[in-house]
Amino acid sequence: MAENSATDHEADRPPPFETLDHGILHEFVGMYLRVAYEVAYEDFTKRLGAEALRPGYFTILTLIVCNPRISQTQIGMASERDKSSVTIALRWMEDNGLITRYPSAQDRRTHMCVATPKGVKMQKKMEEKSLAHLTALGNAIGPERRADFIKTLKDLIHELRQADIP
């Protein structure tokens, strides 16, 4: 046996990349959701720059600016995060002078959140800068598909949460 046949030769190298078979993977939306999230996250942070907050903190700050005296539990529900995650974000924002918290006299367990002037300014600046991100996002999705796409995402979230699993 002097030499490998052509078949043996092929059997000793990976298949060409273009011919890779993804099998059932095309059906799995999960991977695309993850990558789409990562790409959107990166677009947001790059466009807003290093001085800006991350998308998650921007969400929380916006909720506070739009709803003075919102409670921490409300923030958690509105932003789909656990209260423990919210606590960490709020302490950081308070330490950095973006918000103030004070307990309600009606129910001293409840901490109400209010944005400081600095916090309001930060939110406004970020909202302005984020328009470029929203435009890029809108163009990528396609204006005519936008509304339907967001609706589908919300339905997906709602339906899959309801689903009872045997």
Q: Is 56 in the site for DNA (CB under 7 A)?
A: yes
Q: Which residue among 61, 65, 71, 126 contacts DNA (CB under 7 A)? A: 71
Backbone φ, ψ for residue 20 (5° rounding): -60, 135
Q: How far is the CB of 43 from DNA (least distance, A)?
A: 13
Q: Exposure of 32 by Cβ count < 10 A (0-12 exposed, 13-18 middle, 19+ buried)?
A: exposed
Q: Which residue among 29, 88, 131, 132 contacts DNA (CB under 7 A)? A: 88
Residue in this structure with the two tokens 């435009």, named with its chain if needed: 135
Q: Is 46 in the site for DNA (CB under 7 A)?
A: no
Q: Which residue among 47, 78, 111, 141 contacts DNA (CB under 7 A)? A: 111
Q: How far is the CB of 5 from its own copies (least distance, A)?
A: 14
Which region, left, alpha or beta, applies to residue 27 given φ > 0 means left and ψ of -120 to 50 means alpha? alpha
Residues that bind DNA (CB under 7 A): 34, 41, 54-56, 71-74, 80-88, 90-91, 101, 107-112
